[in-house]
Structure 1
Amino acid sequence: MEGKTIPLSFLFTFSIIFLSLFALSVTSSSLQYQKLVLHSLPETQLQSLNWDAQDLNAQLLSGDGSEPDPDTTLSGSDPDPNNVLSVQLHHVDLASPASFNATPHALFKLRLKRDAVRAKAISILAAANATVGRRTGRGHAGGRDFSSSVISGLAQGSGEYFTRIGIGTPSKYAYMVLDTGSDVVWIQCSPCKKCYTQTDPVFDPTKSSSFVGVSCGSPLCRQLDTVGCSRKKCLYQVSYGDGSFTVGDFSTETLTFRGTRVNNIALGCGHDNEGLFVGAAGLLGLGRGRLSFPTQAGRRFGRKFSYCLVDRSASARPSYLVFGESAVSRTAVFTPLVTNPKLDTFYYVELAGISVGGTRVPSIRPSLFKLNAAGDGGVIVDSGTSVTRLTRPAYIALRDAFRVGARDLKRAPDFSLFDTCFDLSGKTEVKVPTVALHFRGADVSLPASNYLIPVDSDGTFCFAFAGTMSGLSIIGNIQQQGFRVVFDLAGSRLGFAPRGCA
């Protein structure tokens, strides 16, 4: 048989295709995997907790909104042997009667919508390079560390987490949003010009002996970014990028953390509070600015704090917000905090790269996350944003690498902001590529449940990252879940301790 000549161009093309497939095969087979145990969102979880929630509220609240004796109403272990104050975590599903008629699926979709608005608002604020000035210390808390509970806001349609603290004297306990992305501490106050619905009774400042209004000429009043004056009383206004705002009297008040009183904390007493707020009575600002709670609480307490954000699907796991020396976990790995000279509220860190399956994604370079001299770009760690946003080129590279490693999993349609979803119905567990964030000096390996999450009750799971056209990247609370996140302001560093909620 007469031989045929094969063109060199064909051989070259064939070789390239073969080598590409071989490289892909080698890359996929050499990836590191970890097990993901599957738990879809239940259809009727909230409704089934109705009576439990009523019983819990009866325990948590007395008729006047005061906190009952914690030793007789709550159980749980102290997170530190040195008698650190603590309370057991209760998922907000049990403490929010307003959410009983909403399904977990509907609440999750609402949370993603709110989350998108929040992430956009943070990016706008960062891009505006708003200078908020120097930080000052104020307040006193005695001689002990102190702590408070942390709970998920999922059932209230919120991506934020909540903590329960006492306001005023006598203390009226209320749920407050835990927010490292803002500074001013505020709470809804009567009389209300316009107040949103909250779980606890609205705070009445006339019934607190420690409530003191701030005068217009006070140095504390001048620390506000937006300030007004009426009848010599200092008025505050805080506006958020999503259009929400709170307006009212600026004051000083006592906050109580399970018996430890922190005096003279600047507090916004809001009489007109409108927008996307939901459920909680107010907000505990944990940012780096001069009016944040950590700054005001002083060197002994506010310069070191930590939290662990519990799994949203867990209804009774212990978790704590801790202030003081005991906040620093011995198992944490630390990365330096970066200062943005144009904006001192956010906690900036250096992200050097990301690994998928144990291998660095080569196109995810440190330059994608650089904070420049003008205050643009960078990476922040934020407790109030749910889904981690990465600048678009970094996200695409991460997503594509994950898709290669997860190519054996059945794909599902996109869901909301997620463009990489899988149909895992009928399975109890799967193997997924590992994902690790490489900060300067700290490698953080994520549990599989922190990046492949259920979005419905039918077995659909999505890759819980998203891209952003903004230069600012945000490490959200889904990726922080289960870690004790340590904010050591005295050492100018931020740490992550795995399995930190126990």
Structure 2
Amino acid sequence: MEPKPRNAALFTLTIFFFFLSTSSSTSLLYQTLVLNPLSTTPHSLSWPESESESLVSDSTAATTTLELHHLDSLSLNKTPEQLFHLRLQRDAFRVKALTSLAAVGNGSRPRGSGFSSSVISGLAQGSGEYFTRIGVGTPPKYVYMVLDTGSDVVWVQCAPCRKCYTQVDPLFDPRKSRSFAGISCGSPLCLKLDSPGCNSRKTCLYQVSYGDGSFTTGDFSTETLTFRGTRVGRVALGCGHNNQGLFVGAAGLLGLGRGRLSFPTQTGRRFNRKFSYCLVDRSASSRPSSVVFGDPAVSRTARFTPLLANPKLDTFYYVELLGISVGGTPVRGISASFFKLDRTGNGGVIIDSGTSVTRLTRPAYNALRDAFRTGTSTLKRAQDFSLFDTCYDLSGKTEVKVPTVVLHFRGADVALPATNYLIPVDSDGTFCFAFAGTMSGLSIVGNIQQQGFRVVFDLAGSRVGFAPRGCA
């Protein structure tokens, strides 16, 4: 057979690449983003609570469905723009604290029914993004407490207080609780602390610092916590008499990490080391957020990815992120190596409830951002905003088409709603791509990307799951 003329072969090759480039530029997958500005309607609190209600026993927890609340409910005197700026400020402190803890490292452990509890998000004066109402002591005194998947120790501000920040509720006074009990210095619970101390009465002392300047110190004790209809006895918690930092507004913190003293680990036998939460879109919805503990926390529709173990740090929820797709196409330039957790405990990807904006290692973020910009070339660009370098002027529009974004975890592809990655940053129609780069090796999947999913933490099965449309 005679060979084709060289110019004919070149023509054929040119046509091939023309069709290849044309199909690749027009075959992106898009979805509709309905444009909602920053929320302008404050959501008031209506949190039913009772100190005289009938409580189940400590050995037989029941599943409880509660009315839930969200948004910046405790900051009714601030504009949406002010709240958003405060949120980004908190986020910067949060990321600094997590990366600091990851760099230092620390030191890690079935049957029951479950309960659920109310969640409020966005306390403007505090560092915690999500709060729940919990009764402390006997009889229970109800206070706001931060829910935090990035820390372990449960603690509450206590009277008498040598140094305390301002909180919404009165200080908890352990002298007025029938169930409060100190922990001896030599007890196993005391020895589980990273930095245990001992006072002259031979009872245990604790101290926790959060890397951003926040800290709490005081007596390490056991106390009863009440989640409305469910009472949980002998929870080891810090009774803080010296507290400082960004927790202003809330009375303390409910540690939901993987460590030895976290609430899920302490209540492992009772609630089978399972909990989940669903966080609503705080700019577009008045529906409630929720947290559920126990077997009912596991959604049947969740897609699961295995939890990874960090040999240097047992607090965080590490997962394996393999890649990211934009418009149905894997982003070139992003590989699993960018997110690898190495044997020394460096790098990796964590799921965190307290971080808002997802942080990716800088090379991965740059590749993702460039792919998204390519898919939104028809949208009018706007100036950078705070940490966001990809923003759009969508004023005058009610909806736009944006390329899909999918996070590819091992065993679980998580397709994000458009509202989870293109978010309003003001009331004038400016929307920004809600990812950011970091020079740290640690990548963090934040709560904006988690919105609307029921995120399941199954410590018994060593896995994390994502169930879409999980807040209903």
Would you call these one fold, judging by a TM-score over 0.5?
A: yes
Distance 1:433 1:389 in 2: 20
Distance 1:476 1:238 in 2: 23
Residue type of the alignment partner of 2:85: K
How many pairs were matched up?
Answer: 455
SS of 1:344's partner is strand
Distance 2:123 2:430 in 1: 18
Distance 1:252 1:83 in 2: 22
Matched, 1:398 2:368: yes
Percent same amino acid at aligned positions?
74
Matched, 1:180 2:149: yes
1:485 to 445, 455, 462: 455
- Preserved contact between residue 455 and residue 464 of structure 2 (Cα < 8 Å): yes
Q: CA deviation at 1:22?
A: 7.7
2:34 to 32, 37, 62: 37
1:148 to 117, 130, 134: 117
Distance 1:60 1:392 in 2: 45
SS of 2:92's partner is helix
Q: CA deviation at 1:27?
A: 3.1
Matched, 1:127 2:124: no
Q: CA deviation at 1:314?
A: 5.3
So what's the TM-score if we normalise by structure 2? Answer: 0.91
Q: CA deviation at 1:131?
A: 3.1
What corresponds to 2:320 in structure 1?
350
Note the residue ranges of structure 2 that are not aligned, 5 or more in a row.
1-9, 55-60
Q: CA deviation at 1:422?
A: 0.5
What corresponds to 1:223 in structure 2?
192
Distance 1:298 1:100 in 2: 38
> Which moves more between the two structures, 390-399 or 314-323?
314-323
- Preserved contact between residue 91 and residue 315 of structure 1 (Cα < 8 Å): no
SS of 1:347's partner is strand
Distance 1:169 1:29, change over 3 A: same
Distance 1:38 1:120, change over 3 A: same
Q: CA deviation at 1:331?
A: 0.2
- Preserved contact between residue 196 and residue 274 of structure 1 (Cα < 8 Å): yes
* Cα distance per residue 1:369-417 (max 9 Å; x no partner): 1111111111110111111100111000000000000111111111111
Q: CA deviation at 1:158?
A: 4.7
Distance 1:105 1:67, change over 3 A: farther
- Preserved contact between residue 150 and residue 308 of structure 1 (Cα < 8 Å): no
Distance 2:349 2:135 in 1: 33
SS of 1:485's partner is strand
2:138 to 164, 169, 182: 169
Note the residue ranges of structure 1 that are not aligned, 5 or more in a row.
1-11, 71-81
Q: CA deviation at 1:346?
A: 0.6
Q: CA deviation at 1:258?
A: 2.0
Q: CA deviation at 1:155?
A: 4.3
> Which moves more between the two structures, 210-219 or 382-391?
210-219
Q: CA deviation at 1:167?
A: 1.0
Q: CA deviation at 1:23?
A: 6.3
Distance 1:21 1:39 in 2: 39
SS of 2:385's partner is coil
SS of 2:316's partner is coil
2:78 to 98, 102, 107: 102
- Preserved contact between residue 45 and residue 103 of structure 1 (Cα < 8 Å): no
> Which moves more between the two structures, 274-283 or 177-186?
274-283
Distance 1:275 1:115, change over 3 A: same
Distance 1:403 1:115, change over 3 A: same
Q: CA deviation at 1:238?
A: 0.3
Matched, 1:385 2:361: no
Distance 2:345 2:262 in 1: 21
2:63 to 77, 84, 92: 84
Distance 1:317 1:69 in 2: 26
SS of 2:193's partner is coil
Distance 2:358 2:65 in 1: 29
Matched, 1:422 2:392: yes
SS of 1:270's partner is strand
> Which moves more between the two structures, 232-241 or 444-453?
232-241
So what's the TM-score if we normalise by structure 1? Answer: 0.86
Residue type of the alignment partner of 1:153: G
Distance 1:237 1:154 in 2: 24
Residue type of the alignment partner of 1:248: G
Residue type of the alignment partner of 2:93: V
SS of 2:269's partner is coil
- Preserved contact between residue 129 and residue 146 of structure 2 (Cα < 8 Å): yes
Distance 1:170 1:363, change over 3 A: same
Distance 2:363 2:409 in 1: 18
SS of 2:33's partner is strand
- Preserved contact between residue 111 and residue 157 of structure 1 (Cα < 8 Å): no
Distance 2:284 2:128 in 1: 15
- Preserved contact between residue 92 and residue 156 of structure 1 (Cα < 8 Å): no
Distance 1:267 1:318 in 2: 28
- Preserved contact between residue 151 and residue 310 of structure 1 (Cα < 8 Å): no
Distance 1:35 1:237 in 2: 48
SS of 2:427's partner is coil
Distance 2:244 2:213 in 1: 8
Matched, 1:261 2:240: no
Distance 2:342 2:469 in 1: 34
Matched, 1:27 2:29: no
